[in-house]
Structure 1
Amino acid sequence: MRIKSLALALTAALGITVSTAAFAQETREFSVSTVLSEAFPWGQAAEKWAELVNERSEGRLTLKVYPNAQLVSGDQTREFSAMRSGLIDMAVASTINWSPQVPELNLFSLPFLMPDEAAIDAITQGEAGKKIFAAIDKKGVKPLAWGENGFRELSNSKHLIDSPEDVQGLKVRVVGSPLFLDTFSTLGANPTQMSWADAKPALTTGAIDGQENPLSVFDVARVDQVGQNYLTLWHYMADPLVFGVNKKVWKSLPQADRDLLQQAAVDAGAWEIEKSRRELTETLVAIKERGVEVTELTPEQHQAFVDATAEVYTKWTPRIGEQLVNEAQAAIANR
């Protein structure tokens, strides 16, 4: 009887071992959402992640990248909700697009909070960054790593801009974030929310006068070809990217695959950040060579914009979290 029990126990143990081994060798494909294609650093980050995961899993795990927000019919502000519900497995996403569902992400959209790249790193790589990741996780998406879409600069078809007064009355396309509306309204502009797919036709017809985007987007999308002849480097906000995974997908993976997926995201993010920053000078030269008039603000001119948008902090700091904003400001001051 004892021998029979031992045999049954051994069989059960062997069954578990075989099952686990089979599971470990299972081939799986996951969808990855991005807003921009691999022509842009943002899309390149997603493709690099997919490349590293495929290479390190020896083809067992495949990430299929869907650019242009096609998994949410072009409405990038729906990406987080779709991902949380399981319609999207993974994403390399903008903090702006996820901010309606994760209020803490509005931190990065506070006007003129981050003056340089070191300030971005001070937030993302410090305690504030950890708290933001915890907030994303609490909302149903597992954040893995940071990437970068860069500082957003202002262009228009009307005139040079080097003071808050120059922005007054301009019809400016902005992304679907209430904070962006408040910032531009405070400056006296007429902000209009629309997707990037709708923005270029609107710029072409003159329905809107200007737009704000990183230099890489201005360059690759050839925004200068739709009348955007004036570009101001005002660094009013930067947009980190987040590599994220649906929580159910994450929990379905064995620990070894979670580690692989996360390290690949960290490495892809670091690669993309370094590449996009390194290429900025070359990108700016190319833009100038196409006849765009580029304005770089003096410290005094920059401060005028800071002062003009101060009231936005009064409204948005309670929504983001006063402690988080204070921690971010302290991290920047001590960078």
Structure 2
Amino acid sequence: MILSPSRRTLLAGSAGLLAAPRVAKAQTQYRPEYKMSVVGNRPIPFAEGAFQWAELITERSGGRINVKVYPGSQLVGGDQTRELLAMRQGIIDFAVFSTINIAPQVREAGIFQLPFLMPDHRAFDALLNGEVGRDLTGIMDRRDVTAVSFGENGFREISNSRRAIRTPADLRGLKIRFAAGAIFNDIFNGLGANPLQMSFADLQPALSTGAVDGQENPVNLFLAFRMDTLSQKHMTIWNYVNDALIFGLNKQLMASFTPADQQLIRECGIEAARRNVALARQGLGIPGTDDSALVEARNRGVEVTILTPEEKRAFATALRPVYDKWAGTVGRELVAKAEAAIRTAS
């Protein structure tokens, strides 16, 4: 899930033209440190992608581009929804953005939050490697962000402390935390749950005290943060959305680097994203992996429910009004491109 070779060539050429007038300055005025923001921390694949990108840039530049990661969105006070604004303001230089967190500011990024749009990883890849990915790169460029590659946080599965979820009716009355975006409020209201928005930093104490019953996050994050110890004893694999990641940096900063440095930053971003995707998919039982992550969850006493295609369709049907409403917000032309790509990939 990276930018295509032709797209990388085009972007590299365009970035080189932008950088040309400032080459001399870029060669002599490197900063002591460039700041990279990311939600969470190692060992989750999301954060791992950011750390590896920073480390690759620093190492391969011989330290002249010294990138330091600030995990937990600490540069924006733990509020991951402010990362895009902070980059545009120059507070942060690099980031691995969650499309969920930037969708309130970049409506097109909400394509990945349309419920049950993407049935599997093949569909997810089709979006990022096709017209949708190319369009999103251009959209980020107009928001003063140079996107060099795409990664994956993972399909978001739902867990709770009260009961197994197999039908829409099973969600009725459950207090479910979501990270950001009004679409998630509509999704869980549409299923009869009581949605509550809060940062990831606030999630763990909320689960431990019973202020919320459940949450939705990738399996790798569930395991890494031991949510099984926070009364999350029921997990349903429903693959309702997959959170794409954008490896990006401030557009003006990118233009300030020499063409060689720009190429180095891109190549490191592509490699880090590739590693991130592999980590995000480990142990989920998809083609090319085993199901060790699901086995581990069960070994921790978690009841893991895997929905059948028919059971997923029941959720998709219940949420069709939400899908249609938000397709208009995201942009119907972009949604049509996504649906066509997924049909071709199926």
* TM-score of the aligned structures, taking structure 1 as reference length: 0.92
Matched, 1:122 2:126: yes
Structure 1 unaligned blocks of 5 or more: 1-18
1:58-78 CA-to-partner distances (Å, cap 9, x unmatched) read 221111000001000001111
Whichever of the two has the greater Rg, that structure is: 1
2:168 touches 2:314 (CA, 8 Å); kept in 1? yes
1:1-335 correspondence to structure 2 within 5 Å: 23-24=26-27, 26-28=29-31, 29-280=33-284, 281-335=291-345
> Could you tell me how far apart the structure 2 residues matched to 1:79 and 1:306 are?
31
1:84-142 CA-to-partner distances (Å, cap 9, x unmatched) read 11111110110000111100000000001111111110000101111011111111211
2:23 touches 2:258 (CA, 8 Å); kept in 1? no
For residue 232 of structure 2, give the secondary structure of its aligned residue in structure 1: coil
AA paired with 2:219? L
> Could you tell me how far apart the structure 1 residues matched to 2:133 and 2:230 are?
37
1:142 touches 1:247 (CA, 8 Å); kept in 2? yes
Structure 2 unaligned blocks of 5 or more: 1-21, 285-290
Change (3 A) 1:122 1:321: same
AA paired with 2:27? A
Change (3 A) 1:200 1:133: same
Aligned positions, number: 317
* Deviation for aligned residue 1:21: 6.8
AA paired with 1:330? A
1:26 touches 1:60 (CA, 8 Å); kept in 2? no
2:23 touches 2:257 (CA, 8 Å); kept in 1? no
> Could you tell me how far apart the structure 1 residues matched to 2:156 and 2:240 are?
7
> Could you tell me how far apart the structure 2 residues matched to 1:111 and 1:75 are?
24
Change (3 A) 1:332 1:221: same
For residue 78 of structure 2, give the secondary structure of its aligned residue in structure 1: coil
1:229 touches 1:291 (CA, 8 Å); kept in 2? yes
* Deviation for aligned residue 1:22: 8.1
> Could you tell me how far apart the structure 1 residues matched to 2:107 and 2:25 are?
42
For residue 155 of structure 2, give the secondary structure of its aligned residue in structure 1: strand
1:145 touches 1:242 (CA, 8 Å); kept in 2? yes
> Could you tell me how far apart the structure 1 residues matched to 2:218 and 2:326 are?
23
Bigger Cα displacement from structure 2, 283-292 vs 63-72: 283-292
1:28-62 CA-to-partner distances (Å, cap 9, x unmatched) read 32100000112111111011111211222122111
Q: What RMSD in Å do the two structures reach over aligned CA positions? A: 1.4
AA paired with 1:81? L
For residue 241 of structure 2, give the secondary structure of its aligned residue in structure 1: strand
> Could you tell me how far apart the structure 1 residues matched to 2:23 and 2:209 are?
60
AA paired with 2:155? F
AA paired with 1:185? N
1:249-305 CA-to-partner distances (Å, cap 9, x unmatched) read 112111111111011101110111123213432222111100000001112111100
Q: Which 4+ stretches in 1 moved above 3 angstroms? A: 19-23, 25-28
* TM-score of the aligned structures, taking structure 2 as reference length: 0.89
